[in-house]
Structure 1
Amino acid sequence: MENKTVTPNKSTSPQKKWMDFKVGSVPLPVYIVMAAIIVLAGVMQQLPVNMLGGFAVILTLGWLLGTIGANIPIVKNFGGPAILSLLVPSILVFYNAMNPNVLKAADMLMKQANFLYFYIACLVCGSILGMNRKILIQGLMRMIIPMMLGMILAMGVGTLVGVLLGLEWKHTMFFIVTPVLAGGIGEGILPLSLGYSTITGTTSGALVAQLIPATIIGNFFAIMCSGLLNRLGEKRPELSGQGQLVRLNGAEDDLADAMKDDTGEIDLKMMGAGVLTACTLFILGMLLQSITGFPGPVLMIVAAAILKYLNVIPGETQRGAKQLYKFI
């Protein structure tokens, strides 16, 4: 009788299942080892109070909370990763449950090194410079009037409701209505908090804590309403643009090619150019702030949009900024 060797099915082996489950970008077993080392260093007060220690803290905790938030039913559809990543550390700090060494490392990265500014600059500049110019010019020109009318009406109605409920109109407009209209957390209230911080002198972290409740509630209703509108579009296709935001007159106006992703393969040199571009635009915004008095982050956004419209930045540099945006 012929002897046959039975090879275990690796695809179903427990080891492979553990390795396939990732916390952030790291397989679970590897993450556990790394997290244990970082926690041990914090307990022994040996965590370096520099960018290395700061990144170790925010990546370890952020990836864990983000993974948990992305796997909680219902909550994951309303920004679960961002919600947990903001609320849980705040609660831990409030109840003094965080190791002092860990807090110092995170404080050094986020406050002394101002990594948040770099993060926001990369997000904003990358999203604008990575936008297809055809959409910016043709699509936006057609949508600008209804968009502006919608925003003005939304701000007016929202502020009026707040006043009727006994809230001050300034607080309602700038801390409730505007965060909702900002469109989210990463690219919404974070840049908004920087602008507010420049005007009010309050730290951006404290402002984020004030802005996020309205944003989360706004996201909840936005997702719910979009689901209802999607169902309406499925039942009455003539009311749906099938993802096309602008009504087209003919083939010459087709913006379908503009929706294609032309980022290409990851190129570290191009990403380096994207980093330099984001930093330069942020510095330009700060420089213009000293001259005009307007918030630097806002002027950075305006400058990026103007440069994109004029198409003066080389295509490779724009693609590098977009790759950096996706990486961040």
Structure 2
Amino acid sequence: MGEEKKKSFLQELKVLGGLPWWLYLLCTFAVLAVAYTDTLGYDAIAFIAFVMAFSIALYKFGKILPIWNTYIGGGLLMVFFGCALLKQFNLIPEGYLELVDTMVQGDVNILSVFIIALIMGSILSLDRKVLLRSFAGYVPAILGGLFGAALFGVAAGFIFGVQPIDMIIKYVLPIMGGGNGAGAVPLSQIYEQISGEPAANYYSFAIIILTIANLFCILAGAMLNRLGKKVPSLTGDGTNIMPVDSKLIKEDVEVKVSLTDYSGTLLLMGAVYAVGRLFSKVLLPTVFGAQIHTFAYSIIFVVVLAALGIVPANIRVAARNMQSFMVSVVALMTMVGLGFDFDLGELVSACSPANLIIAAVIVVGAILGSGLVGKLVGFYPIDAAVTAGLCMANRGGAGDIAVLGAAQRLELISYAQLSSRVGGGIVLIIASFFFSFFL
């Protein structure tokens, strides 16, 4: 086993972005040499070339680096912090900082494409029967975790001198938002829309506190698994969330998709975004005085589509495939942009003993709240705590795998996705109210 680990670490570096290492270095040298002589230009292809030259190597390094890849956040977080470090030492020309900002979060805004694709692919890829069967009981379990996290967080805030509203907005919402792409990123967009401040101001702290909480979630998953072995009555066999569930419905992986199906998927993505814009800008921009963000309405619309079962299987599979492309490729571009906006000085100040304790307490609150409510609605409390609690408080899809792996409950991935996506959507809706009333 030791030989395999050593081989995998070294061999992985021989292929970067699908290219042999020497060809990757040749391409990167060509792009950066032309860019740093101010010859590359500032159009879309220049953006693609510039960000991929940096992000591919950083992503691979973060993916294979021990400890970092398991507990910190893997490749995407390495791209984020690596680009922040490059900017901190003034190694990025100002013109390309502006180009990346324009493309990622400015007028072009590929971030919105990334978020909508992630939302739609994640929700539509869930089996409809699983969605309908568990929704009535699972949403209360998610809300129980949210309430427990908020309650424990506010209590910790009194100890460390953090006001309740600041605790909810700066700590609880980012941690319980369903991860990075569907949580911290859209939360920062809502923050910018409502407050008028740059999204990076919110995201920079949100991703730090979320990363800290993710570590505690993984450790807590392992601890809950040990508890389940000692007290079997608190859990099932690791594949079921409730006693009446004999078997999770498995997704049909044999559905074939054509290139034409991706055209329809793109149109559906546009429609989901359009409906979100229509409600957030025209039909129902506020609810009880709170401004509701486009992404929140888009999530509601996709959940309705999934529940009705009117989206064909080929489009659902194409949406999942497109989500995979976004997570594998476009996510690198977005992380470069967010990294260039990040102030590393805030990281040092944020990793204080107080923040570490607060993050741990919020995770404990999520465990107890979701486990208790899960028990009340007929779920196994440990399995509810792992999925509706920890998979809300971790870093989304990658965090789900890490937590479920530590808890030895990978068969519960469908429920974890409900937490990360549907639960994350609930947090976005709640955030719209809190940002509108208290910012």
Fold-level similarity (TM above 0.5): yes
Aligned residue runs from structure 1 range 67-106, under 5 A: 67-78=60-71, 79-106=73-100
Q: Is the radius of gyration larger for structure 1 or structure 2?
A: 1
Between the aligned partners of 1:240 and 1:24, the Cα distance in structure 2 is 42
Deviation at 1:60, TM superposition (A): 2.3
What is the identity percentage for the equivalent residue pairs of Structure 1 and Structure 2?
23
Q: Which amino acid aligns with 2:274?
A: I
Q: How far off is 1:278 after superposition?
A: 1.7
Hey, what's the Cα distance between the residues in 2 that align with 1:240 and 1:266? 38
Q: For residue 196 of structure 1, report the CA deviation from its aligned partner.
A: 2.4
1:126-150 Cα deviation digits (max 9, x unpaired): 1112211111100222322222222
TM-score where L is the length of structure 1: 0.85
Corresponding position: 1:53 with 2:51: no
1:27 pairs with 2:20: yes
Q: Which runs of 5+ in 1 are unaligned?
A: 1-16
Q: Give the Cα–Cα distance (whole angstroms) in 1 for the partners of residues 225 and 176 of structure 2.
A: 20
Matched ranges for 1:177-216 at <5 A: 177-216=172-211
Q: Does 1:275 align with 2:270?
A: no
The Cα offsets for residues 260-312 of structure 1, whole Å up to 9 and x where unpaired, read as 35374563322232222222211221221112221111111111111211223
Partner AA of 1:148 in structure 2: L
C-alpha deviation, 1:112, in angstroms: 2.5
Cα deviation for residue 171 of structure 1 reads 1.7
Contact 1:66 1:80 in 2 (8 A): yes
Matches within 5 A, 1:1-328: 21-78=14-71, 79-110=73-104, 111-233=106-228, 239-249=234-244, 253-256=245-248, 258-260=249-251, 262=253, 264-265=255-256, 267-291=258-282, 292-293=284-285, 294-328=292-326
Give SS of 2:276's match. helix
Match for 2:46: what amino acid?
A: G
Q: Give the Cα separation in 2 of the matches to 1:50 and 1:81.
A: 26
Question: Larger relative contact order (C-alpha < 8 A, sep ≥ 6)?
Answer: 2
Shift of the 276–143 alpha-carbon distance from structure 1 to 2, 3 Å rule, reads: same
- Cross-structure match for 2:334: none
Contact 2:257 2:317 in 1 (8 A): no
SS of residue matched to 1:259: coil
1 CA distance for matches of 2:133 and 2:39? 56
Letter in 2 for 1:310: L
Shift of 1:18: 6.7
* 8 Å CA contact retained: 2:32, 2:53: no
**C-alpha deviation, 1:324, in angstroms:** 0.6
Aligned length: 308
Deviation at 1:216, TM superposition (A): 0.5
The answer to whether the 8 Å contact 1:135/1:255 transfers is no
Following superposition, the deviation at residue 207 of structure 1 comes to 2.2
How many angstroms apart in 2 are the aligned matches of 1:132 and 1:33?
A: 44
Normalising by structure 2, we get a TM-score of: 0.65
Shift of 1:234: 5.1
Distance 2:181 2:250 in 1: 22
- The answer to whether the 8 A contact 1:126-1:323 is kept is yes
Asked if 2 retains the 8 angstrom alpha-carbon contact of 1:233 and 1:239, the reply is yes
In structure 2, the residue corresponding to 1:182 is in which secondary structure? coil
Judging changes above 3 Å, is the alpha-carbon distance between structure 1 residues 81 and 248 closer, same or farther for their aligned structure 2 residues? same
> In 1, distance between residues paired with 2:22 and 2:255?
32
Separation (CA, whole Å) in 1 of partners of 2:195 and 2:322: 30
Residues 273 and 25 (structure 1), Cα distance of their counterparts in 2 relative to 1, 3 Å cut: farther
Contiguous gaps of at least 5 residues in structure 2: 1-9, 286-291, 327-439
Assess if the C-alpha contact under 8 Å between 1:248 and 1:254 holds in 2: yes
Letter matched to residue 267 of structure 1: S
- Residues 94-133 of structure 1, C-alpha deviation per residue, up to 9 Å, x if partnerless? 3322023432432332123101111111111111122111
Partner AA of 1:149 in structure 2: G
